[in-house]
Structure 1
């Protein structure tokens, strides 16, 4: 074997030395004494100390050279390993099932990657987001993404963001139908907002959805859209600021939209009449005086879902026995349950209304009269505001068809907490002799809270647990959603998770995740 010697220390340089450099010093020698004490050296000591240092310097230099050689070898080995790993990954990727996915399946996967509207508004426009990112992965993925127009149909414009006009134009070209979400801002620079709205308006005939926060500067542009919205199916209109409505008497931009079936109008600041093709609507949410609602409801015979928010203005309810028959209505949500006295809905599946803390005790008779008159198979009861035990128990006792109870509240305070605790106690199964269970047929109880201090969650657990354990109760699912707060105490949360392990379909979410889940419930997303 050919072994070379280090010119500096004489050791083999073909690899690590077989024998370590000898640094031992014999006890009793002058060298040993100097190493292990602070005794000053004599002149005669300098020669052998310098010799020892020189020998060590040579060996250290040799070791440094060997370390450099090994580091270079390691670098080369690591580079080769990285190259081979990449080559292996590319070869294995050929075998992945994803390569064989049909284009329509791949396009569906891309569609699920699109950010929600909330996420898109929270983050600034970025071509590294979906769907833009899929055009830069591979030629096939680019081809699939470009051949899937629905990926490009949703365009979200926020006045607080900056959008490259060229990219918006590219997105418009790649889409077929357009879903426009335009969030104007009264206090922001109107020029880029107007420029972008004018660009989108050039393609108004392709708008399938249009959701807008209107500003005063956008009103003339909106009037210009009349008779151009031939594909519009879904519309949502709200006003950015009170001054946005200042010079608007009414809007008729959507009166001639032949495909419009789904409309939401939020008049938060004051009522602005908007002319709609009401005879063709299937879904409507509207803030308006009750007189306006009645006029529309008498004409909108195809409604399946309606949200009636009444701009009451202290006007008295009309004195009439006439009721409006909504024969196709499946979902009804009211800001004022008093409106039930004027409606009939024989096909109703879901009923929701807002309960004020000081509401009179005549809500149950209103609901009973409405449901008896409608003879409808209502399955879900949704209450917002500050629902009380009396109202809910009276309704549930009389209508066994109600198997899902949804309660949502954004009202905080000791009175709300007391009412909530009383409600949970009333819904719990009592072990007392002779007591009866309220609505043993309930299969779902869903609770949505703005704050975690809405109630005593130990009381909530006792309600859920008692219904889960009771042989005569049908509870299968319990959902608890809280948007903010300190969270449930660990002990209560552990006990609730124990029920899930026993088979209860239990879901608990807090914060943004809870908000997203709340949005999945349409009656909550289109809030009363």
Structure 2
């Protein structure tokens, strides 16, 4: 019988004697008694383990609580913590827009702990920017605006920067996915509805909806509105939009490139500019057609406070140009964009503009000018502004001609261009082609003039002979040029920023 007890598998029939059956029953009884004893012991041990685990968890909670109290973040002043929150919410590219999903970052920070949530909620300046667009915040455009009310209330009395995109998504057949009636009421608010508004930016593509307001007065009585930027392909927005032009200090208008749309009523632009008496900054890009130029030629627009002007130079059939109607006695920063106007006409217009305004320019930017074809006229133009200390050229063609014009020639100090130049920037988006390394090096040394260029084979100048005529070049920016920057990067007193052509960086 005993040999059956240790077999895991029995395949043949078993014939038991009465004593064998008694023996097996006794073994079963004894095993059941032992199993019950083991079960009792297990329950006792489980109770002890449960108690031990409870004590362990209590100690872990105590440890976490103590570490929480000891955490350096708990001892950080609220002002510093709030500053960290503010920096962590900045866009990666540093540009605020309706596309930036600010709310996701805010909710992530507030979800860390109660203390952080209270600190964030209790700091009004962290709620002074609100970015909304239909794609990421579609519920808000359908009326679920409770969190927007909370957001605005947490900003307190501080000014709110509101970035709003209400553009429509269109299908392949040009049908709008949603009527603008759900959000156009904001444009129909009373003129006194935005008492703290300081800055507004529009990007208008299409006003072809029946329910779009014919007149937009909501901004007309915003007492603090100073900065306006308008990008549009629909010129009639300016006829509908009523702005307090007389109180604006900054205005930027980028119009459509469609002359047929633009020429519908070009006089509206003249009227707007005539109202902007307190502008400090003006950037205007319009497809100047002959009708507009003729409108400007018969009037005089005086900007008594304007300090910065960015304007294109278009060629027109009548030989009339926008600068001919402007007078800006306090102008300090001028940007001219080359758009086809003859170089001789540009110089004549700028000369007359400077003579009429008598401004003292400190910064000049020329965009997309051809140095080779424009050299003689460029020299004439630059000679008008001996006070300029910052000169920048964008998208340069024929760079060697420009470099030669800027190079100081020993013995001819009276004809030096831009004698007060301290900051020079040459920016090229396309890869600059040509052998300009020697010309660039010679120009830099001629304006740095410390007399240590002999090792490079470049003529040095006597410091004393330049000291009463020139201001030393202090800052040089080069973008998009193939250049051995080591030639000038170690010159004492000269800060150099160099960015290789994109093809090289990649």
**Is the contact made by 1:457 and 1:492 (CA closer than 8 Å) also made in structure 2?**
no
Output one character per residue of 1:409-461: Cα deviation in whole Å (capped at 9) or x when no partner: 3xxxxxx533x342233223346878943212111112333333377663545
Alpha-carbon offset, residue 493 of structure 1: 3.3
Distance 1:160 1:143 in 2: 29
Alpha-carbon offset, residue 291 of structure 1: 3.0
Number of corresponding residues: 389
Aligned residue among 141, 146, 156 for 2:121: 146
**Is the contact made by 1:310 and 1:336 (CA closer than 8 Å) also made in structure 2?**
no
Structure 2 counterparts to residues 87-486 of structure 1, below 5 A: 102-116=77-91, 125=101, 129=105, 131-136=106-111, 140-161=115-136, 170-176=150-156, 177-187=159-169, 220-227=184-191, 228-240=193-205, 251-272=216-237, 273=239, 274-286=241-253, 287=255, 291-315=267-291, 316-318=293-295, 323-336=300-313, 338-386=321-369, 388=371, 389-409=375-395, 417-418=397-398, 420-430=399-409, 436-453=415-432, 458=437, 459-469=439-449, 471=463, 472=466, 473=470, 474-481=472-479
**Is the contact made by 2:188 and 2:217 (CA closer than 8 Å) also made in structure 1?**
no
Residues 1:250 and 1:167: Cα distance change in structure 2 (over 3 Å):
closer
Output one character per residue of 1:439-484: Cα deviation in whole Å (capped at 9) or x when no partner: 12111112333333377663545433442236434211112345xx
**Is the contact made by 1:393 and 1:426 (CA closer than 8 Å) also made in structure 2?**
yes
Unmatched tracts of structure 2, length 5 or more:
1-59, 141-145, 256-261, 315-320, 450-460
Distance 1:179 1:93 in 2: 38
**Is the contact made by 2:280 and 2:308 (CA closer than 8 Å) also made in structure 1?**
yes
Alpha-carbon offset, residue 359 of structure 1: 2.6
**Is the contact made by 1:354 and 1:384 (CA closer than 8 Å) also made in structure 2?**
yes
TM-score normalised over the length of structure 1: 0.61
Residues 1:480 and 1:183: Cα distance change in structure 2 (over 3 Å):
farther
Distance 1:234 1:120 in 2: 13
Aligned residue among 472, 481, 486 for 1:494: 486
Residues 1:334 and 1:437: Cα distance change in structure 2 (over 3 Å):
same
> Secondary structure in 1 aligned to 2:132?
strand
Distance 1:175 1:192 in 2: 34
Alpha-carbon offset, residue 400 of structure 1: 1.5
> Secondary structure in 1 aligned to 2:195?
coil
Distance 2:496 2:347 in 1: 29
**Is the contact made by 2:98 and 2:164 (CA closer than 8 Å) also made in structure 1?**
no
TM-score normalised over the length of structure 2: 0.64
